[in-house]
């Protein structure tokens, strides 16, 4: 049976944010996956000058973007596509699961305020469940896979080492399936996907699966959480 809370089931009306909140109240009682408290990475990057970039994929980009928009030190977080070609970086095509793309988020951050390793800790802890293979919650397909797209050798070493560390720590009940790949290109998603969580907090999918992630961020990473999100529409980060 199709899950009525999956994005495919919500369809165009959900994308427009027009479904009534009453539908949410009649839905399942269990919301997003529980957050997992995990140790910080033993290997991390040193603070450096200039804006840096991280790209991660962890299911629907609405929630992942929302988490990092509420994270101190993040100057911009953009929903988009990574893992495939530019010509197929379009929502309807990516949704077929045949393009190689994953719904991803490009994070511009100040390494003097937040480290690359801290971003990964938040990614693994509250932004998604790294034990779900080619899916996240109600969404299934390779476009919803868990993957870290690295921009350089240092990021790859940190990501690989952190996954090994988390596996050894046994903090998850199931094996971590997160991939680590080299970023070949990041392509921003359509405008209506940007800042989606903030613009549609009462949309059933957002309220059920993604708002709890923001609450978990505030609870587990209180020293990193910021109440006012940094939105794409107002971000000052530059390439």
| Burial call 180-213: b when 16+ CB within 10 Å, e when fewer | bbebeebbebeeebbbbbbebeebbbbbbbbbbb
pLDDT digits (tens, 9 = 90+) for 128-161: 999 999 999 999 999 999 999 999 999 999 999 9
**Whole-angstrom distance, CA of residue 184 vs CA of residue 3:** 33
Q: Residue 12 above 80 pLDDT?
A: no
pLDDT band at 62 (very low <50, low <70, confident <90, very high): very high
Query: Per the domain annotation, does 169 fall within a domain?
Result: yes
How far does the chain reach from its first CA to its final CA, in angstroms?
Answer: 44
Band of residue 47 on the pLDDT scale cut at 50, 70, 90:
confident
Residue 6 domain-assigned (yes or no):
no
- Compute CA distances 143 → 13, 22, 121, 126, 136, whole Å: 21, 29, 22, 19, 10
Residue 233 pLDDT: 81
Give pLDDT, residue 32.
55
pLDDT of residue 90: 98
Predicted local confidence at residue 23, as pLDDT? 31
Rounded CA-CA distance 215/32 in Å is: 11
Q: Is residue 123 part of a domain?
A: yes
The token pair that represents 30 in the structure block:
């269990």
| Domain encompassing residue 123 | 36-220
The answer to whether residue 237 sits within a structural domain is no
pLDDT, mean of residues 68-74: 98
Cut 0.95: pTM above it: no
Q: How confident is the model at residue 141, as a pLDDT?
A: 98
Residue 8: pLDDT band (50, 70, 90) is low
Distance CA 123, CA 141 (A): 20
In a domain, 72, yes or no: yes
Residue 6: C-alpha distances to residues 37, 124, 137, 151, 205 (Å): 26, 22, 8, 31, 7
Number of domains, the chain: 1
In a domain, residue 205? The reply is yes
Give dist(CA 237, CA 227) in Å, integer: 19
Select the more confidently predicted residue: 185 or 16: 185
**Whether the predicted pLDDT of 21 surpasses 90:** no
Per annotation, catalytic residue among 24, 32, 54, 60: 60
Q: What is the pLDDT of residue 59?
A: 98
Higher pLDDT, residue 22 or 103: 103
Q: What is the mean pLDDT of residues 222-230?
A: 97
- Inside any domain, residue 19: no
Task: Give yes or no: 42 in active site.
Answer: no
Cβ neighbours around 229 below 10 Å, total: 21
Mean residue pLDDT across the chain: 88
Does residue 15 sit within a domain? no
- pLDDT, residue 44, reads 97
Label residue 181 by pLDDT band (50, 70, 90).
very high
Look at the alpha carbons of 27, 68, 115, 143 in this order and tell me if their dihedral is positive or negative: positive
Which CATH number do you get for residue 47? 3.30.1060.10
pLDDT, greater one: 91 or 9: 91
């Amino acid at each position: 049976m199709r899950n009525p809370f999956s994005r495919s089931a919500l369809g165009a009306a959900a994308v427009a944010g027009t479904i009534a909140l009453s539908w949410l109240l009649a839905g399942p009682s269990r919301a997003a996956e529980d957050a997992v408290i995990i140790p910080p990475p033993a290997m991390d990057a040193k603070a450096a000058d200039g804006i840096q970039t991280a790209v991660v994929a962890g299911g629907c980009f609405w929630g992942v973007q929302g988490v990092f928009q509420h994270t101190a030190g993040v100057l911009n977080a953009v929903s988009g596509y990574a893992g495939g070609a530019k010509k197929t970086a379009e929502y309807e095509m990516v949704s077929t699961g045949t393009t190689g793309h994953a719904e991803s988020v490009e994070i511009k951050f100040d390494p003097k305020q937040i480290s690359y390793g801290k971003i990964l800790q938040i990614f693994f802890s509250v932004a998604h469940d790294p034990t779900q293979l080619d899916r996240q919650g109600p969404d299934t397909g390779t476009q919803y896979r868990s993957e870290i797209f690295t921009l350089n050798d240092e990021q790859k070493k940190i990501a690989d080492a952190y996954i090994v560390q988390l596996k050894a720590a046994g903090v998850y009940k199931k094996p971590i399936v997160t991939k680590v790949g080299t970023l070949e290109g990041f392509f921003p998603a359509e405008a209506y996907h940007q800042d989606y969580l903030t613009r549609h907090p009462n949309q059933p999918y957002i309220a059920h699966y993604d708002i709890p992630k923001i609450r978990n961020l505030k609870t587990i990473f209180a020293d990193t959480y910021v109440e006012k999100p940094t939105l794409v529409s107002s971000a000052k980060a530059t390439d």
